[in-house]
Amino acid sequence: MTKKNRHKIRRPANLSLKRKTSSSQLTVPFFALLGATLIGAAIFFNFLAPNETQSSIDWSVQGVTTRHEYQYDDLKDDGEFADPQQEAQELPEAYAPREPEITRMSDTIKSGDTPTTLLEGHLGLSQIYSLCSESKDFYPLDNLRAGQPWTMIYSDKALIGLEYEIDSNERLVVSLNDSGYEFRREAIPYETEVKTVSGVIESSLFGAVTTAGESEDLALRLGNVFAYDVDFTRDLRTGDTFKIIIEKKSREGKFVGYGQLAAASFTNQGQTYYAYEYTDNKGNTAYYDEKGRPLRKAFLKSPLPFTRISSGYSMSRLHPILKYRRPHQGIDYAAPSGTPISTVADGVIAQVGSNKSQGRFVRVIHSNGYETIYNHMSKFSKVSKKGAKVKQGATIGYVGSTGYSTGPHLDFRMRQNGTLINPLKLKTLPAEPIASKEMPAFKAVVAAYRAQLEEPVQSAKLEQDSASSQ
């Protein structure tokens, strides 16, 4: 074969190769254009009608039947399509905004606790200093007292509030926010109910009150009300009765204490005494008898309630230590060491001292030439300073056995115009009665409680026997 023919035979092969290359180059742009068109259509439908776009995708993938099923799910009960905007407002629970979790952590103040020790880790030192400084107008947080409830309030893990119970009636509430601190004092909320408590004395007032199901605190309240008329050390007798109309307070179903003692009666050796709490138009609250005469008198019957007399007033008594007879111009009250001693009348402390005979003692000067002396104390109270004014019933010291003493007791003495007198024979007049213009309001108070107080009193034992027989 000639060279010319060989050249002609190879040419078709070269032409065929060029055609194949040209076809591949056209195919790639075509598919790229097709893909761009589909993507553009998807974006177009997504922006214009997102719900329809989803339906179109479902239709293309799952078929016509699936599309019909999807549309039927969008129908309401009445055959109309549901409003997509309304569905958007009713978010599933999983997608709803989560409410912050509020947590209250409560404890009691311990000895040595300070705002810094309680709040470190929650607030910086400068913030704690600012908090204490700003709280002084409401309550100084530097005066936290051991045993008082303290609460810290968190939103999730952030500290947002504090609560401190100042006393049994009031608490300090602090709110922490971005703008600083907000303070307020508010009354502690209690559930209250008014109850009538009654009992019969068998051995002691404390025993009768606890037998009635109440605490000893109520016995003290009752004793203080009638302390001007009844000497609970000498006058109490088996068979004496009492009745109390008292407010009882509770928190979260738990009893926490007593509130207002509205009225009470006490029958001692056949004579009944009444007490009605009344607040006059000047805001002064006191107890009065049924005729409007105040129960409070110039002197208490005794500086120590619910104790026994171990030695009386005598001009000739054998001294238990000195062992010879000499006058004992006072009253000895036997009581456990540490029992609070009350001043029997308003006055000014003239002397606070100690000597070999009297031990630790306090002398108080009263009006109309009276003065009282309290001997053998174990320690003095904080108010017992020379020149300090004291109110009737204020604690001035505590029972002890200092000086010439064989055991814990109070040696109580009284002088009138410089002369020692027998305190048990002292007769004093009550203070001014209720003003005549306020008597109608006072009589309304008496009328509200008198019928309850006059009902006969049975002992707890008799009431139990009566209930069991039924």
Read off the CATH number of the domain in which 330 is found: 2.70.70.10
Domain boundary among 36, 58, 89: 89
What per-residue confidence (pLDDT) applies to 278?
96
In a domain, 94, yes or no: no
Question: Quick one: 173 and 149 in the same domain?
Answer: yes
User: What CATH number has the domain bearing residue 283?
Assistant: 3.10.450.350
Q: Is 295 helix (H, G, I), strand (E, B) or coil?
A: coil
Has residue 410 been placed in a domain?
Answer: yes
pLDDT tens for residues 395-431? 999 999 999 888 899 999 999 989 999 988 887 666 7
Q: What is the rounded CA–CA span in Å between residue 431 and residue 452?
A: 27
370 and 411 share a domain?
Answer: yes
* pLDDT, tens digit (0-9, with 9 covering 90-100), for 145-179: 999 999 999 988 888 999 999 998 899 999 988 88
Question: Does residue 106 lie within any of the structural domains?
Answer: yes
Give a yes or no: residue 164 inside a domain: yes
Question: Does residue 243 share a domain with residue 220?
Answer: yes
Highest mean pLDDT among 294-303, 325-334, 351-360: 351-360
Together in a domain, 442 and 293: yes
What's the pLDDT score for residue 171? 94
Say if 226 falls within a structural domain. yes
- Give buried/exposed letters for 21-49 (b at 16+ CB in 10 A, else e): eeeeeeeeeeeeeeeeeeeeeeeebeeee
Record the pTM: 0.59
User: Using 50, 70 and 90 to split pLDDT, how confident is the model at 36?
Assistant: low
62-109 pLDDT tens trace: 444 444 444 444 444 554 545 555 555 555 555 556 677 888 899 999
In this structure, the answer to whether residues 75 and 138 fall within a common structural domain is: no
User: Exposed (0-12), middle (13-18) or buried (19+): which is 237, by Cβ within 10 Å?
Assistant: exposed
Give the domain range for residue 314: 308-425
Is pLDDT above 70 for 6? no
In which band, very low, low, confident or very high, does the pLDDT at 10 lie, cut at 50, 70 and 90?
A: very low
For residues 80 and 108, membership in a common domain is answered with no
Q: Tell me if 401 sits within 8 A of 356, measured CB to CB.
A: no
pLDDT reading at 295 higher than 60: yes
d(CA 40, CA 46): 10
Rounded CA separation 21/24 (Å): 5
For residues 147 and 240, state if they share a domain: no
**More confident: 446 or 156:** 446
> Is there a domain that residue 303 lies in?
no
- Give the integer Cα–Cα distance in Å for 314 and 174: 61
Q: Which two tokens stand for residue 138?
A: 């409401």
- Between residues 397 and 29, which one has the greater pLDDT? 397
For residue 281, count CB atoms less than 10 angstroms from its CB and return exposed for 0-12, middle for 13-18, buried for 19 or more: exposed
Count of structural domains, the chain: 4
Of 121, 153, 187, which closes a domain?
Answer: 187
DSSP alpha helix (H) spans, 226-363: none
Within this chain, do residues 199 and 287 fall inside the same structural domain, yes or no? yes
Give yes or no: residues 71 and 151 share one domain: no
89 φ/ψ angles, rounded to the nearest 5 degrees: -70, -30
| Token representation of residue 39 | 């993507």
> What does the mean pLDDT of the chain come to?
80
Find out whether 229 and 236 touch, Cβ atoms under 8 Å.
no
**Contact criterion met (CB below 8 Å) for 361 and 375:** yes
**The token pair that represents 130 in the structure block:** 């600012």
Residues 417 and 340 placed together within one structural domain of the fold: yes
Average pLDDT over residues 33-38: 66
Token pair recorded at residue 384: 């017992």
Closest CA to 313 of 191, 425, 153, 435: 425
> What pLDDT does residue 50 have?
46
- Pick the last residue of a domain from 89, 111, 128: 89
β-strand 347-355 against 359-365: which pairing, if any?
antiparallel
Using a pLDDT cut of 70, give the percent of the chain over it.
75
- Same domain (yes/no): 76, 168: no
DSSP summary character for residue 115: H
Q: How far apart are CA 23 and CA 3, in angstroms?
A: 32
Does residue 147 lie within any of the structural domains?
yes
Q: Is 320 in the same domain as 405?
A: yes
- Cα distance between residue 167 and residue 109, in whole Å: 13
Residue 354 · residue 402 · CB < 8 Å? yes
Domain assignment present for residue 96? The answer is no
